[in-house]
Amino acid sequence: MKSVLPVLVVVAALIGLWYAAAVPMNVRGVLDEAERAGAEVVPASGAERRERAVWTLVVRNPGAIPATWAQERPRLPAPHQVAAELWDTTAGKSITSKRSLVYHGWVTLSATLLGFAIGTGLGILLAVGIVQSKVMDMSVMPWAIVSQTIPIIALAPMIIVVLYSVGVQGIIPKAVISAYLSFFPVVVGMVKGLRSPDAMQLDLLRTYNASAAQGLWKLRLPASMPYLFASLKIGIAASLVGAIVGELPTGAVAGLGARLLAGSYYGQTVQIWSALFAAAILAAALVGLLGLIERLVLRRMGVA
């Protein structure tokens, strides 16, 4: 409880900074609108205003400041505008409505979870293979690393096009992109986790004449659990990014990515920001949920 006050102070500072930043970002637009509406602004002509620094315009037109936080299409929407939009599009709309963020969030979330499941399963299988087989270690690991050096934004359209040409569309292509991003942290974390038992532990199993499979089930997998959860937290966030990126190149009609895209087409910055926040809140909730599962599992294992 002692940390509540400092946390609130930091949050308040960030919000204050945001409001302050909105003033210079939006002041030109506000003055242009005011001029069109026939109000008095300094300097009076748009051409002259373009010559001036934004701070000069703010100082010369202090009366315009409140309007910078209330524009319909601001360059940088104020926090309360984003909050109002978030509230309006979640609590204010039926969840089946195309304008509901809950609807769009679920479209993205379902692809995220499917991709995360595929990526995690694939990652664990690859890690087990890499640890058990020298050949896989030398042949698969380099490709796993190379796979992550290609920008996903360049690869995503190709994945969607290739899958579409074989008749796969809808949630699967997005899930594939999610899986592509999330398998990697799982592979890296699990390889480290499966190799975490020391030489003495492995020697002990040898004195029992244990098979490789017994070593995996009884020693390596349980020992890798803390590593797995650290990887899963990175993996689920990467999955969400993958699903959103997967919604961009198709001009998808649903999902948080589609909201971002539509918002940028029509200059709806408030919509973009609220979709961004929805994605961030979703990611935080997923990571938090994994943290909770981690605590439960490790406590059940007796190691936390």
Count of positions on this chain that bind other proteins (CB under 8 A): 19
CB of 221 to other proteins, least distance (A): 10
Indicate which single residue of 222, 230, 264, 287 sits in contact with other proteins (rule: CB under 8 A).
222
Footprint of other proteins on 141-200 (CB under 8 A): 200
CB of 298 to other proteins, least distance (A): 8
SS3 assignment for the chain: CCCHHHHHHHHHHHHHHHHHHHHHHHHHHHHHHHHHCCCCCCCCCHHHHHHCCHHHHHHHCHHHHHHHCCCCCCCCCCHHHHHHHHHHHHCCCCCCCCCCHHHHHHHHHHHHHHHHHHHHHHHHHHHHHHHHCHHHHHHHHHHHHHHCCCCHHHHHHHHHHHHHHCCCCCHHHHHHHHHHHHHHHHHHHHHHHHCCCCHHHHHHHHHCCCCHHHHHHHHHHHHCHHHHHHHHHHHHHHHHHHHHHHHCCCCCCCCHHHHHHHHHHCCCHHHHHHHHHHHHHHHHHHHHHHHHHHHHHHHHHCCC
Nearer to other proteins, 2 or 300 (CB): 300
Indicate which single residue of 147, 148, 196, 201 sits in contact with other proteins (rule: CB under 8 A).
201
CB of 213 to other proteins, least distance (A): 10
Q: Does 216 bind other proteins (CB under 8 A)?
A: no
Q: Does 230 bind other proteins (CB under 8 A)?
A: no
Nearer to other proteins, 59 or 202 (CB): 202
Q: Does 208 bind other proteins (CB under 8 A)?
A: yes
CB of 272 to other proteins, least distance (A): 46
Q: Does 210 bind other proteins (CB under 8 A)?
A: yes
Q: Does 218 bind other proteins (CB under 8 A)?
A: yes
Nearer to other proteins, 84 or 225 (CB): 225
Q: Does 219 bind other proteins (CB under 8 A)?
A: yes
Distance separating the N- and C-terminal Cα atoms of the chain: 22
Q: Does 296 bind other proteins (CB under 8 A)?
A: no
Q: Does 29 bind other proteins (CB under 8 A)?
A: no
User: Is 172 exposed, middle or buried (CB count within 10 Å of its CB: 0-12, 13-18, 19+)?
Assistant: middle
Indicate which single residue of 225, 230, 254, 262 sits in contact with other proteins (rule: CB under 8 A).
225
Indicate which single residue of 205, 254, 281, 287 sits in contact with other proteins (rule: CB under 8 A).
205
Indicate which single residue of 40, 47, 209, 265 sits in contact with other proteins (rule: CB under 8 A).
209
CB of 248 to other proteins, least distance (A): 43
From residue 222, alpha-carbon distances to 197, 240, 263 in Å are 10, 27, 46
CA–CA gap between residue 26 and residue 193 (Å, rounded): 50
Nearer to other proteins, 205 or 254 (CB): 205
**Rg of the Cα atoms in the chain:** 26
Q: Does 203 bind other proteins (CB under 8 A)?
A: yes
Nearer to other proteins, 73 or 218 (CB): 218
Give the residues lining the site for other proteins (CB under 8 A): 200-201, 203-210, 214, 218-219, 222-223, 225, 301-303
